[in-house]
Amino acid sequence: MAKKTWTLTDVAQDVYREELAISPADIEAPGKFSIAKRRLHGGLRDGVDVIEVDNGRMRFVVVPTRGMGLWRAFCGDVHLGWSSPKTGPVHPAFVNLWEPSGLGWLDGFDELLVRCGLESNGSPERDPSGALHYPLHGKIANTPAQKVEVSVDGDSGEISVAGVVEETRLFFNKLQLTSTYTTKIGQPGFTVTDTVTNLWAEPSELELLYHINFGMPLLGPGAKAVLPVGKLAPRDQTAVADLAEWNVYGPEAPGKPEVVFFVDLAAGDDGRTTTLLKNAESTRGVSLEFDKRQFPCFSLWKNCQAASDGYVTGFEPAINFPNGRSFEKSKGRVATLRPGESRSFEIRLTAHGTPESVADAEKAVAALQAGREPEILGKPDPEWSAP
């Protein structure tokens, strides 16, 4: 059977479906699967739309209301995601990005995958008068999608969830994000393909970072980040103190400050690179594969707070480092899109549920590292970290 598509939201056509359930009974496909769309009610999640995809092996939840972010994923007994102090997913109406500290973005932070951008994505920045100019991590994660579709290809078994989100403002940047999550029946992972297009008749500037976050039970004491390091530097003096164990996770430590390491990853001749997070026993893990030419910058975020306060790590491929926007622009890491120009990005996430699968992923990282001695800096790199 040919591919079939269902439109869930289309603001331009005044189309909206609050609920939808799709199963093999709706289209002949090779295997078991389900897709369910619903609207959440109560608390801070009131009014949030979620789409749950179960391909028979992996289950994940896309949140169109939150910029097409990804809330949680499960593959067998591998749980991907983390436990935020917030009970989410939080509706953007309850997130004040412009509250005085500039940290309002944290009030909605609960996802496995959340995009930071599009105009800015780093730490808060103020203008000379002291007024907040760019809030933490930008606006796209708290902007609802205006068009959402799900598709199933009965021949290939491919399932996709696609959405369009616009970050536009009169007299300012006008950027459109078209995001598609793609998986196949029976696969232990999915691919995220995003295209950012400049809708403005003038050049638009772009920052983009994928904040991909993992917590317990995958994360814990002895868990390890396995990265093909070309060069690594602590973001600041706080991270310098953790440099000796930059790739190993310790126990919960209430009050311990977050640490960040900036990384230039090694890649193959084709530009592809792989990162892996594995548990302490090397029996479970998750890997990310992407093209370093699309994502030249990578940040490793480690937050070893108490579990109730958010014990979590972030693997963060990006086009820039998450510093203040003016610093990143001074270093040439803020992209410019010409009128009508588009730029595409792709990340593949794979869950590993056996020691053998984890070992194979680790070998893939080792192959990228082979013959390349990692350069580990003992202090922040002034080209990467704002003073």
Which tens digit of pLDDT belongs to each residue from 13-40? 999 999 999 999 998 777 899 999 999 9
Closest residue by Cα to residue 48 from 86, 104, 103: 86
Positions of the chain with pLDDT lower than 50, given as ranges = none
pLDDT for 1 = 61
pLDDT at 2: 83
CA distance linking residue 159 with residue 4, whole number of Å: 10
pLDDT value at residue 28? 79
Predicted local distance difference test score (pLDDT) of residue 322? 98
Q: How far apart are CA 191 and CA 182, in angstroms?
A: 5
pLDDT of residue 247: 98
Residue with tokens 């199933």: 152
Structure tokens at 225: 């980040």
Q: What pLDDT, on the 0 to 100 scale, is given for residue 289?
A: 98
Burial of 123 (C-beta count, 10 Å sphere; 0-12/13-18/19+) = middle
The reported pLDDT for the residue numbered 223 is: 98
**Predicted local confidence at residue 29, as pLDDT:** 76
Q: What is the pLDDT of residue 41?
A: 97
- List the alpha helices (DSSP H) in the chain: 237-240, 307-310, 325-330, 355-369
Task: Mark 33-56 as b/e (b = at least 16 C-beta within 10 Å).
Answer: bebbbeebeeebbeebbbbbbbbb
| Domain 3-376: CATH class, spelled out | mainly beta
Going from N- to C-terminal start, the domains of the chain cover 3-376
